[in-house]
């Protein structure tokens, strides 16, 4: 068995350990969101950020080249070992992972050197190569706008003092998409289309070298419309003066028609605002609102509304779904992720085309979610999420918000808007 084949088999074994740890079936299909969550968990435990594309290649057996040592170490550490060498040593006697003899490897390496002038040898040894930092590294940014979206951000970088094969900037921990840096010193211009707190990373090979936190704000309400089947198309934006009307926050069909935007079956609407009022801590807050869907011209038979809360240290969301779709739900609140596969989320289903009252109450670290005055879920999480930084409403199709109230359990109201002009 060649060295590469042996490592590939070890990767498959490590992958099975991770799947077992996550209680996933070996043949279960992984979605993009599954890879996002795995990337977050690996980063939390190891400090190494693996991109969605890297994880997808590993899970799809797409081994055009052996992953970098930092990637292998992160996988092994997440699987419960100290590093890749420790994982390999602990599993070297498995029948399916036995390496060829030392002599065979020497012969193979010598032959490779003769045939390829040493290039093949570098490929075999590449997985053992790590990065080294020999001096200062620059990674900073400045914003062209700090009051609304879209927001243009320019990153400054200098990686001349890092010995590595390639360098990247990941603009957002929301999708972990890498942007290749063609020179060792320069600038990268980025666009951020939604308000929120983002983490950007400077990477050398698969290792995070530096991290930045960006707060992309919208001091007033903003509406962003996208089409799911055309993700490459930039959002359409509408600002507060055009989306508050008749006692609700919404984007009407009339407004879409006026701007020549067709109502398509894959349309998504996000309504968002950054909050700069008196701070509300994650342990003591009340959020009350009233929401509904406005359009039935959508692709899904089980459309959803997501109520999002942007904290200083995390983004959380609570969904509502059209009755019948409760088996497709997922809640994220801090480190707690509940799905229809492991929790009773039946109370989050309703007729979304009528108004529904939603209340989220957090007291002493325990959070309860009420729909139409009925408690539907209780949450508890140890993550220190900090103060509320913003709120958002995500609709399949177009929808409306009747009002929004933010306050604490003492009865103090820090924000209220009935959306009356």
CATH number reported for the structural domain that contains residue 409 in this entry? 2.60.120.200
CB 316 within 8 A of CB 404: no
- Reading the block at residue 159, the tokens are 């990686």
Structure tokens at 377: 């879920």
| Residues 182 and 253 occupy one common structural domain | no
> 81 and 160 share a domain?
no
Residues 263 and 278 placed together within one structural domain of the fold? yes
One domain, residues 78 and 188: no
* CA 3 to centroid of chain Cα atoms: 35
Q: Token pair of 119, please?
A: 């290039």
Angle at 264 between CA 251 and CA 321, to 5 degrees: 70
Does a cis peptide bond (omega within 30 degrees of 0) precede residue 150? yes
Q: Are residues 328 and 204 part of one domain?
A: no
Q: Which ranges constitute the DSSP H helices of 330-396?
A: none
Q: Please give the structure tokens belonging to residue 352.
A: 């979304």
Same domain, 362 and 269: yes
Question: What CATH number should be reported for the domain holding residue 171?
Answer: 2.60.40
Distance of CA 237 to the CA centre of its chain: 22
Kindly give the interhelix angle for 84-91 and 69-78, rounded to the nearest 10 degrees: 70
The domain boundary, picked from 79, 109, 128, lies at: 128
Q: What is the reported pLDDT for 2? A: 62
Structural domain span for residue 194 = 133-216
pLDDT for the residue numbered 177 = 77
Backbone angles phi, psi at 255, to 5 degrees: -65, -40
Written as one string, the DSSP assignment of 347-400 is GGEE-TTS-EEEEEEEETTEEEEEETTEEEEEEE------BEEEEEEEEES-EE
248 and 232 both lie in a single domain? yes
Residues 161, 63 share a domain: no
- Exposure of 106 in the CB half-sphere (CA atoms within 13 A): 3
Please indicate, yes or no, whether residues 120 and 170 belong to a single structural domain of this protein: no
Q: Which helix or strand (DSSP H or E) is residue 244 part of?
A: strand 244-245
Domain boundary among 181, 216, 251: 216
Q: What is the pLDDT of residue 328?
A: 82
**Which of 113, 304, 317, 147 shows the shortest CA–CA distance to 215?**
147
Handedness of CA 118, 123, 127, 133 (dihedral sign): positive
Label the pairing between strands 207-216 and 330-333: unpaired
Identify the domain boundary among 96, 113, 128. Answer: 128
Residue-level pLDDT at 35: 86
Contact 72, 81 (CB under 8 A): no
* Number of alpha carbons in the 13 Å side-chain half-sphere of residue 269: 33
Is the dihedral angle over the CA atoms 387, 406, 172, 218 positive or is it negative?
negative
Question: Which positions ≥6 away from 34 have C-beta within 8 Å?
Answer: none
**What three-state secondary structure class fits 418?**
coil
Does residue 192 share a domain with residue 142?
yes
Query: What is the reported pTM?
Result: 0.74
Contact 229, 266 (CB under 8 A): yes
Domains: count for the chain: 3
Q: Is 212 in the same domain as 229?
A: no
Query: Residue 206 phi/psi, 5° resolution?
Result: -105, 15
DSSP state of 263: -
Q: What is the pLDDT along the chain (421 residues), one digit of tens a residue?
A: 566 778 888 999 999 999 988 888 777 778 877 888 898 889 888 878 888 888 988 998 887 778 888 889 999 999 999 999 999 989 876 655 544 334 434 333 333 433 444 443 334 334 445 689 999 999 999 998 778 899 999 999 999 999 999 999 999 877 777 899 999 999 999 999 999 999 999 999 878 899 999 999 999 999 999 987 777 788 999 999 999 988 999 999 899 999 999 888 889 999 999 998 889 999 999 999 999 999 767 666 789 999 999 999 999 999 999 999 999 888 989 888 888 888 999 999 999 999 999 999 999 879 999 999 999 999 987 788 999 999 999 999 999 999 999 999 999 999 999 999 7
Query: Does one domain contain both 71 and 103?
Result: yes
Evaluated on CA atoms 107, 110, 115, 120, the torsion sign reads positive
Three-state DSSP at 188 gives strand
69 contacts 127 by C-beta, under 8 angstroms: yes
């Amino acid at each position: 068995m060649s060295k590469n084949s042996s490592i590939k088999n070890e990767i498959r074994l490590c992958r099975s350990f991770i799947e077992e740890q996550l209680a996933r079936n070996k043949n279960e299909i992984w979605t993009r969101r599954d890879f996002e969550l795995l990337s977050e968990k690996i980063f939390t435990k190891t400090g190494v950020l693996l991109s969605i594309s890297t994880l997808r290649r590993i899970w799809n057996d797409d081994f055009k080249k052996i992953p970098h040592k930092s990637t292998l170490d992160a996988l092994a550490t997440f699987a419960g070992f100290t590093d890749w060498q420790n994982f390999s040593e602990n599993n070297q006697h498995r029948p399916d992972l036995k390496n060829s003899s030392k002599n065979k490897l020497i012969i193979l390496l010598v032959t490779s050197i003769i045939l390829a002038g040493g290039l093949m040898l570098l490929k075999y040894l590449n997985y053992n190569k790590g990065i080294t930092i020999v001096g200062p590294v620059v990674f900073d940014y400045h914003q062209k706008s700090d009051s609304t979206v879209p927001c243009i951000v320019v990153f400054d970088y200098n990686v001349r003092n890092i010995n590595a094969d390639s360098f990247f900037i990941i603009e957002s921990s929301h999708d972990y998409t890498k942007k290749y840096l063609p020179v060792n010193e320069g600038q990268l211009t980025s666009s951020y289309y939604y308000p929120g707190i983002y983490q950007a990373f400077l990477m050398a090979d698969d290792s995070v070298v530096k991290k930045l936190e960006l707060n992309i704000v919208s001091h007033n309400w903003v509406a962003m419309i996208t089409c799911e089947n055309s993700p490459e198309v930039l959002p359409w934006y509408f600002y507060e003066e055009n989306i508050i009307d008749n006692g609700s926050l919404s984007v009407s069909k009339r407004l879409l028609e006026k701007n020549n935007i067709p109502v398509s079956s894959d349309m998504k609407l996000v309504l968002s605002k950054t909050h700069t009022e008196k701070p509300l801590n994650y342990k003591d807050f009340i959020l009350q609102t009233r929401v509904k869907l406005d359009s039935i011209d959508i692709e899904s038979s089980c459309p959803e509304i997501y109520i999002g809360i942007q904290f200083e240290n995390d983004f959380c969301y609570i969904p509502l779904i059209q009755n019948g779709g409760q088996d497709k739900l997922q809640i994220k609140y801090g480190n707690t992720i509940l799905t229809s596969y492991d929790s009773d989320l039946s109370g989050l289903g309703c007729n979304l085309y009528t108004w529904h009252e939603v209340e989220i109450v957090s007291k002493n670290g325990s959070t309860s979610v009420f729909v139409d005055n009925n408690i539907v879920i209780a949450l508890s999480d140890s993550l220190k999420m900090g103060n509320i930084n913003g709120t958002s409403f995500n609709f399949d199709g177009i929808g409306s918000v009747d009002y929004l109230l933010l306050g604490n359990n003492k009865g103090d109201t820090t924000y209220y808007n009935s959306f009356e002009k």
